[in-house]
């Protein structure tokens, strides 16, 4: 396989990136998805009481060299072992997920366009642009229901690091995008364009 294409879906936390991936999966079957979140560095000392002791909203929070290495391998048609992350205990798991290359790889995450080395590997860059208040509410619901967080810790983290990190590291990368999708997975017109593009890529992919 020598024509693997990587589609990036970037945007702030809670913008609707995962919803877009899920809706694409309902229509376009032959692709694989990588979440940048899986490449967070371990920070087991973090808890609800000291949640800002590790800044998850800074580029240094990610194992970018590993991400670059694995994206390059997939582009060359080589399988990789994707790391897994425990967001309750803030650590990388020993278990990995085997991923074989597909004609299309979707890379989604908050800072996938920040590092040039990652950005240059992405063939189509999509930025999901969702209002701050909507993103915060989604993040609050997710962190409480899925990650064992308290309301106080979510709010503290959002004010101290998430919001500043968004405007410093994420919002500016909108300038690198090829397509801006307002309102994430609720934008049916943009989804239709994206699905059509992906189908064309799959039709032209080598068998």
Could you identify the residue written with the tokens 């990036």?
8
Where do runs of H (alpha helix) occur along 59-187?
Answer: 64-75, 116-119, 132-146, 151-157, 163-165
The reported pLDDT for the residue numbered 31 is 87
pTM of the full structure: 0.86
pLDDT in tens, 85-136: 998 888 999 999 999 989 889 999 999 999 999 999 999 899 999 888 888 9
Residue 184 φ/ψ region, left for φ over 0, alpha for ψ in the -120 to 50 degree band, beta for the rest: left
Calculated CA dihedral for residues 7, 141, 54, 6, nearest 10 degrees: 0
Q: Are 25 and 92 in contact (CB under 8 A)?
A: no
Query: Structural domains in the chain?
Result: 5-199 (3.40.50.300)
pLDDT band, residue 151 (cuts 50/70/90):
very high
Q: pLDDT (tens digit, 9 = 90+) per residue, 156-180?
A: 889 999 999 999 999 999 999 988 8
């Amino acid at each position: 396989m020598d024509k693997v294409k990587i589609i990036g879906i970037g945007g702030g936390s809670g913008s609707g990136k995962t919803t877009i991936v899920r809706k694409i999966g309902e229509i376009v079957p032959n692709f694989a998805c990588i979440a940048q979140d899986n490449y967070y560095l371990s920070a087991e000392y973090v808890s609800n009481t000291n949640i800002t002791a590790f800044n998850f909203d800074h580029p240094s929070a990610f194992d970018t060299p590993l991400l670059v290495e694995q994206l390059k391998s997939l582009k060359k048609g080589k399988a990789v072992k994707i790391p897994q992350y425990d967001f309750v205990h803030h650590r990388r798991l020993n278990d990995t997920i085997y991923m074989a290359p597909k004609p299309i790889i979707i890379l989604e995450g908050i800072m996938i366009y920040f590092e040039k080395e990652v950005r240059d590997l992405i063939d189509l860059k999509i930025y999901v642009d969702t209002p701050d208040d909507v993103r915060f509410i989604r993040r609050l619901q997710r962190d409480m229901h899925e990650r064992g967080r308290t309301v106080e810790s979510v709010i503290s983290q959002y004010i101290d690091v998430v919001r500043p990190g968004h405007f410093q590291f994420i919002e500016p990368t909108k300038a690198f995008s090829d397509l801006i999708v307002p309102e994430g997975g609720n934008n049916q017109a943009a989804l239709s364009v994206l699905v059509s593009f992906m189908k064309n890529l799959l039709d032209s992919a080598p068998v």
